[in-house]
Amino acid sequence: MKIRKAMVMAAGRGLRMRPLTETVPKPLVRLAGKPLIDHVLDRLAEAGIEDAVVNVHYLADLLVAHLAARTHPRIVISDERDALLDTGGGTKKALPLLGNDPVLTFNSDSVWVEGLGANLRNLMAAFDPERMDALLMIADAARTIGYVGRGDFTMDPAGLLARRGESTTAPYMFAGVQIVKPGLFADGPDGAFSTNLIWDRLIDQGRLYGQRMGGTWMHVGAPDDLAEAEAFLRDL
């Protein structure tokens, strides 16, 4: 199905990225000479996304001023200056801007080098709203640049996702991008909450799916991750 809107998660304080985020919001930290958020928005433009809702909180004026120069996709600001709402609460606040149709959500620190094909277009082509309420882009933990911990998910042959057990590791990481039905967030609690709350409900219902991405995913969450990603890109 055609996905026309995306939400870019750009409101966080970027505490793990200090000291770089003491003077700029994390989405404006540069990777390979370009702000992280421009890597995201360029991917969305290439995939044909028309509107990108960007939530802002920390050093919001700097980010809003930077985004004013973008023309494609069209930028719409979801203002969280009054209170930081986490990924779930931020999406719930933005529902009037997102509408009812499935949307892409995209973490502003998620970048990658493509493999065969185009990951966003492949994800949109794979989304089946009859079977799925959310389809997550999944990266192989063993091929990820940056912090992976013990992994996030296991996945069965049909693509259904399950959480990693408390004392185990898992082969897959959430790569920061999903297609999701925004109405799911309307029933979330008031104030701040994580999208993990929605995912756990969908796992119980057999409605949370994953698709393995091609290429190499880079989770640029901290200065060491940034340095590792820069080195990887230089060696390509």
Question: So what's the pLDDT on residue 91?
Answer: 97
Task: Please tell me the predicted confidence (pLDDT) of residue 169.
Answer: 86
At 116, is the pLDDT very low, low, confident or very high (cuts 50, 70, 90)? confident
d(CA 76, CA 103): 14
As for how many domains the chain has, the answer is: 1
Mean pLDDT across the stretch 35-44?
Answer: 96
Largest CA distance in the chain: 47
| CA separation for the pair 193, 196 (Å, rounded) | 8
Domain containing 10 equals: 5-234
Whole-number mean pLDDT of the chain? 93
CA angle 216, 221, 224 (to 5 degrees): 85
Percent of the chain at pLDDT > 70 equals 100
User: What is the CATH classification number for the domain harbouring 132?
Assistant: 3.90.550.10
Mean pLDDT, residues 51-63: 97
Tell me: the pLDDT tens digits for 70-94?
899 999 999 999 999 999 999 999 9
Considering the entire predicted model, what is its pTM? 0.93
- DSSP track, 154-179: EE-TT-BEEEPPTTS--SEEEEEEEE
Give me the mean pLDDT over the 198-216 stretch: 96
Per-residue pLDDT band for 167 (boundaries 50, 70, 90) equals low
Name which residue leads in pLDDT, 168 or 14: 14
> Stretch 33-52: mean pLDDT, rounded?
95
Summarised one tens digit per residue, pLDDT across range 122-153 is: 999 999 999 999 999 999 988 888 777 788 89
Block residue for tokens 């992976």: 148
What is the Cα–Cα distance from 166 to 164, expressed in whole angstroms? 6
pLDDT at 236: 75
- Encoded tokens for 154: 């296991």
Task: Say which amino acid occupies 79.
Answer: D
